[in-house]
Structure formats: C-alpha cells, structure tokens
Amino acid sequence: MITERQYIKDNLYDFFEELLQAQGIVDVPIIYGNENGPRPKAPLLVLEFRSTVSPGMPDYSRVNLENGEGTQKITQHTRRNMTMYGFGERAIDVLETIKSQLNADIWVDKLRNRNLVIPQTMETLENPQSFETTRENGASFDFDLTYLRVIETNPGYVEDVGLEPNFHR
C-alpha cells in the first residue's frame, strides 16, 4: 500500500520535472527538504511539506456489502501547504517560470490526471542563505495543494438479529 505522502512526493516530483523539461530547464535538480540526504550544488529546487488542513466534514458512503464484506469509503477534502525553494543564481527566474506555468491548461490537466490541484500560489520571496563562509542566492514561494483523501474501512455490520421475549413479573 502506497502512503499518501509518498504518492504526493512521487507525483509532484514527476510533474515538476516534466514542467521544467518542457521549459528547457534540465540542469536544475529537485529534492525534498528535511530528508538528510546529500544536497546537490546550486542551482537546485527544494520541495517542502508544511501544514495540512482538512476543511469541513468527511463524507461517509453507504456500506457496500458485495462479496460478503462490508466496506465503506470515507472521503475528505484535504489541503496541504507546500513551499518550493530555489537556491543559486537562477533561483528566482526558475521559480517564476514554474509559477507562470501552473495555471496553463496543459499543466492543470496533468496535475488533475494525478488527482492533485494547485489552486493558488503565493508571492515569490527572496531569501538568501548563509552557508559556511559564503552567501547563496535563494527564493521561495508557498503553494496550496488540494486533493481528496479516500480511506476504505471495514466497519462491520450486523448480519442477523434474533429476538427472544423475556417477561419479568
């Protein structure tokens, strides 16, 4: 079973790689933040998970009794806040290129085919970083990622009931 977070990581990585290649940007690797792996030399992009919100109430389907098992789907709209960082001389240009493409129909459709939507992006902020004795150009923007979380559960059901009269005097 693939986890939700891994599904998002795999699909966002593939999506952004395809978007960058379509724009002729093939020399800027993408990594995920907070994974303690080796950091490539700049320029590079870093995706980072931030907060998760599940607005509203989940939708509970009727229990499906096919094959003698009772399964129920619980569907919840979910919104994750993500940040994309860019490090290196071209960071701002690469981030702005990505942002300019996110509302284009082709990229909206490619995300929807992966059951993901980016409904909004925030402003790009310059945030240079100090590493050891050097200063590195950097920028970032936040974006919301929305999707439906679907959980299947087996709530169990009462197969039959027997009633026995019991009178107390």
- 28-74 pLDDT, tens digit per residue, is 999 999 888 888 888 999 999 999 998 888 888 777 777 667 778 88
Low-confidence stretches of the chain (pLDDT < 50) are 1
Domains of the chain, start order = 4-54+76-148 (3.30.70.1700)
Residue 16 contacts residue 25 (beta carbons within 8 Å)? no
Please give the torsion angle defined by the CA atoms of residues 50, 56, 58 and 62, in that order, rounded to the nearest 10 degrees. Answer: -160
Q: What is the C-alpha to C-alpha distance for residues 59 and 73, in angstroms, rounded to an integer?
A: 8
Q: What are phi and psi of 128, to 5 degrees?
A: -60, 150
Confidence at residue 129, expressed as pLDDT on a 0 to 100 scale: 65
Q: Count of CB atoms within 10 A of residue 86's CB?
A: 28
What does pTM read for this prediction? 0.80
- Provide the 3-class DSSP secondary structure of residue 116: coil
| Helix runs in the chain, H state only | 4-22, 91-101, 105-112
Q: What is the C-alpha to C-alpha distance for residues 28 and 10, in angstroms, rounded to an integer?
A: 17
Confidence at residue 158, expressed as pLDDT on a 0 to 100 scale: 65
Confidence at residue 1, expressed as pLDDT on a 0 to 100 scale: 47
Confidence at residue 102, expressed as pLDDT on a 0 to 100 scale: 95
DSSP 27: S
Q: What is the C-alpha to C-alpha distance for residues 153 and 79, in angstroms, rounded to an integer?
A: 22
**CA 60 to mean position of chain CA atoms:** 23
